[in-house]
Amino acid sequence: MAFQFKNSSLALISLFIVIMSLLCSSSASAESSGTATYYTPPYVPSACYGFEDEGVMIAALSEGLFNGGAACGQYYQVTCVSGTNQGTPHPCLGNGPVTVRIVDKCPAGACRGTIDLSQEAFASIADTASGFEGIWVQKILHCTVLGLNFEDIKSSIGSIMSSIGSIISRLYPMTFEK
């Protein structure tokens, strides 16, 4: 009986993930043009997360867009469309857009762009020798559940379910009889 309860629990968790995926599919707000620059490591501390490492696909926004920290944790999709300076004449790599998470604010006066991408994020869409590029920026609207980003919840639940599946298969090994 306990085994069936575990299966029911896994089924309910799976159903929850499917329903939330359908309800919370990422959507994007209106695009706007702007410019992007990049900054180099170390990426901590950041205005949003202090000394917490948020990976490398991150960015800082200009002071106006940062909005006193309201932009922290938001996702933006950035597409290279043209070069804007005397650097590389054709900086765009044609790899499509990069999605970055906002973790910081560009320092006033030092921020020449709309968005300041991590070096890794910038390099995925443009030649870093250009240093400054024309872009399309699109804010990605992510669903949250109880104040948590659904993508993070889905990833965590997936890891937990995998672990539970391993435990169940060890406790109840499948045997085949002829």
Does residue 178 belong to any structural domain of this protein? Answer: no
pLDDT at 45: 95
What is the average per-residue pLDDT within 148-157? 57
Does residue 79 belong to any structural domain of this protein? Answer: yes
The DSSP code for 73 is T
Does residue 117 belong to any structural domain of this protein? Answer: yes
Domain count, the chain: 1
**Which range of residues forms the domain containing residue 119?**
27-144
Distance between terminal CA atoms of the chain? 25
Does residue 69 belong to any structural domain of this protein? Answer: yes
Closest CA to 35 of 107, 73, 83, 71: 83
- What is the pTM (predicted TM-score) of this model? 0.63
User: pLDDT tens, 49-103?
Assistant: 999 999 999 999 988 889 899 999 999 898 888 766 556 667 888 888 999 999 9
- Between residues 21 and 35, the one the model is more confident about: 35
Does residue 62 belong to any structural domain of this protein? Answer: yes
Distances (CA, A) of 60 to 37, 84, 95, 115: 10, 19, 22, 6
Does residue 36 belong to any structural domain of this protein? Answer: yes
Q: Give the domain CATH number at 34.
A: 2.40.40.10
What is the average per-residue pLDDT within 149-174? 66
- Tokens 């990049």 belong to 38
Does residue 166 belong to any structural domain of this protein? Answer: no
pLDDT at 72: 94
Does residue 53 belong to any structural domain of this protein? Answer: yes
pLDDT at 156: 61
Closest CA to 60 of 77, 72, 68: 72
